[in-house]
Structure 1
Amino acid sequence: MASITQDMRFRLSLIKYAERYGVSNAARKYKTNRQYIYRWKNRFDGSWDSLSDRSRRPHHHPNQHTTDEAELISRMRRRNPHAGLVIFWVKLRQKGYSRSISGLYRFLKKQGMMAVHPPNPKYIPKPYEKMDYPGQRIQVDVKFVPSACLKNSRVIGKQFFQYTAIDEYSRWRFVEAFEEHSTYSSAQFVEHLIKAFPCRIECIQTDNGTEFTNRFTTHRDKPTLFQKCLEKHGIRHKVIRPYTPRHNGKVERSHRKDNERFYATHLFYSFEDFAAQLKVYNRRDYNHFPMRPLGWKTPNEVLWDYLRSV
């Protein structure tokens, strides 16, 4: 028994009063009829459970599944244990089943015959690949500047872009502002990155955007200006798996931090203003900010420590 309700206490009090003073007096005192009292007196066996309400659910329903239909469903479920509701319903209709899909669902739910779905294969990530020296691989990506940061009538409606490169070994970062989002801008960015980075760059990793590669365009075999620039400098180009930004996770994480620490608190009144503020922010804040993966050193400290050791 789950709990003793007020109705159960009322019925027990009613029965005791009727046994002591009679059924008629109990009916007048408790403002009920004699049939009600006799019913509960006959049902009462000394336990609280006998005073609880019984289920009012009907034992039968005129539209319930027939024995033949139940056998058909049971037989089809044994043959199709993993079939979903819709597929299972269609298969049953091909065998002459005429009930609605909602009626089938209620029957399967009541009988405990819902589909048994096999577990999804567990994703096993690849081992994290650590770089051994600066320039071994650099992640490059483009960030669209939030339009809410543009506050001058000359720049409202325009789009500015932040090109970002992060060295995977030292987390040293180089950023540059551009007014154009194209393979030409990407090639320019690489030229400036090579001049700014103090080590030789072996590999640059990007996503599959058209500013980097023609991999998913009609000219997939034609190299972009960005790729030609990399080839000219002997830099290998690596593209990540499509729709998998976590493979470029370091630069993606830096863009999220940019939203929190830069774009949320700065306004730009011209492209020149944006470019100047971005340069100052990257020099003062990011490359001089201690990071846990670096043992709480700054990217600049890790980079110069390596250069002094070679």
Structure 2
Amino acid sequence: MATITQDMRYRLSLIRFAEKFGVSKAAVKYKTNRQYIYRWKRRFDGSWDSLRDRSRRPLHHPNQHTPQEISLISHMRRRNPNAGLVIFWVKLMHRGYSRSISGLYRFLRKQKMMAVKPANPKYVPKPYEQMLFPGQRIQIDVKFVPSICLVNQAQGQSFFQYTAIDEYSRWRFVEAFEEHNTYSSAVFLDHLVKVFPLPIQCVQTDNGSEFTKRFTGTKREENLTLFEERLRQYGIKHKKIRPFTPRHNGKVERSHRKDNERFYATHTLYSFEDFAAQLKVYNRRGYNNFPMRPLGWKTPNEVLRDYLR
């Protein structure tokens, strides 16, 4: 509902007084001029809306677009409906248009002729491949130990946590290393094969140089890293995730985030030996024996034990 202002009430009272006692007496009483009274008498039609202030916005501007320019813009917009502002302005300049880009922007906004942007294609993820048994695929990744945890002898050094997670049971094996390279990866694989109770069919990693030469060397089969050679000896398939897509290795990435919250944020590491011992205890107590929702609130050790039974 429109608001009735005090000015509208004043004008209605002025008009009624002028109709009853005349315009001259109304001008004296309301301290205004006769022209003002006559103007509102002509405009008044018995409704409140006729007493409102009208827009004082000019209908024309001395620098407005000419009919020729409007025709050129309309013609070019029909031919280039998806062209952005800058590209559209350059195309117009090649055909004699001399206005600024800001003036063109205001005209397009006013005439509702802005570019029609097509919708971006949505990313449709592939359905997750559910594992059927332990060892079908194991994710491996390396985590850099935060330097804030290192004190005394460990201060200034670099330690690394190698992590392997079985996708079926979420069972995890971790080991501490002082270097992250293809030799450390091969050693970690040897230890993983020994402690995992079932044969491993596939290992999934990212494209780091500690695992593969996919982006750092030639693509010949004989130019393999020590880690890949060891996989070939064990008969294990090596699956490399899509580059710059760590979510494809999501289980091990999420476990590293939990390590920051549960282990590295609350522990102090005094040496490499101390780091290796604390990490082993934490993984045994705080991860493999921790109930998880995807496992029906069972622990990874329980899922693996039930399968083996």
* TM norm. shorter chain > 0.5: yes
| Aligned equivalent of 1:137 | 137
* Amino acid in the other structure paired with 2:48: W
Q: Could you tell which deviates more after superposition, 15-24 or 273-282? A: 15-24
| Aligned equivalent of 1:193 | 192
Q: What is the deviation of 1:162?
A: 1.4
Name the SS of the counterpart of 2:154 in structure 1.
coil
Asked whether the equivalents of residues 173 and 287 of structure 1 are also in contact (C-alpha less than 8 Å), the reply is yes
Matches of 1:34 and 1:262 in 2, distance apart? 88
Matches of 1:62 and 1:289 in 2, distance apart? 76
| Aligned equivalent of 1:257 | 258
Q: What is the deviation of 1:7?
A: 4.6
Q: Does 1:229 align with 2:233?
A: no
- Taking only the aligned residue pairs, the percentage that are identical comes to 76
Q: Deviations over 1:1-44 (max 9, x none)?
A: 643345545555565666677222222xxxx7766565545434
Matches of 1:109 and 1:228 in 2, distance apart? 63
| Aligned equivalent of 2:179 | 180
Matches of 1:40 and 1:17 in 2, distance apart? 13
Asked whether the equivalents of residues 17 and 26 of structure 1 are also in contact (C-alpha less than 8 Å), the reply is no
Name the SS of the counterpart of 2:304 in structure 1.
helix
Asked whether the equivalents of residues 27 and 33 of structure 2 are also in contact (C-alpha less than 8 Å), the reply is no
Q: What is the deviation of 1:299?
A: 0.7
* Amino acid in the other structure paired with 2:262: R
Asked whether the equivalents of residues 18 and 25 of structure 1 are also in contact (C-alpha less than 8 Å), the reply is no
* Amino acid in the other structure paired with 2:266: T
Summarize the Cα distance change of 1:15–1:263 in structure 2 as closer, same or farther, 3 Å threshold. farther
Q: How does 1:211-250 map to 2 (within 5 A)?
A: 211-221=210-220, 222-250=223-251
* Amino acid in the other structure paired with 1:274: F
Q: What is the deviation of 1:93?
A: 1.4
Q: Deviations over 1:55-104 (max 9, x none)?
A: 22221112211111111111111111111112111211121212121111
Q: Deviations over 1:251-296 (max 9, x none)?
A: 1111122222222222223222222222111111111111121111
| Aligned equivalent of 2:74 | 74
Matches of 1:193 and 1:249 in 2, distance apart? 20
Summarize the Cα distance change of 1:233–1:52 in structure 2 as closer, same or farther, 3 Å threshold. same
Q: Does 1:300 align with 2:301?
A: yes
Q: Does 1:24 align with 2:6?
A: no
Gaps of 5+ in 2: none
Q: CA RMSD in A?
A: 2.3
Gaps of 5+ in 1: none
| Aligned equivalent of 1:111 | 111
Q: How does 1:44-59 map to 2 (within 5 A)?
A: 44-59=44-59
* Alignment: residue pair count: 303
Matches of 1:266 and 1:6 in 2, distance apart? 72
Asked whether the equivalents of residues 18 and 26 of structure 1 are also in contact (C-alpha less than 8 Å), the reply is no
Matches of 1:17 and 1:231 in 2, distance apart? 105
Matches of 1:80 and 1:296 in 2, distance apart? 58
| Aligned equivalent of 2:124 | 124
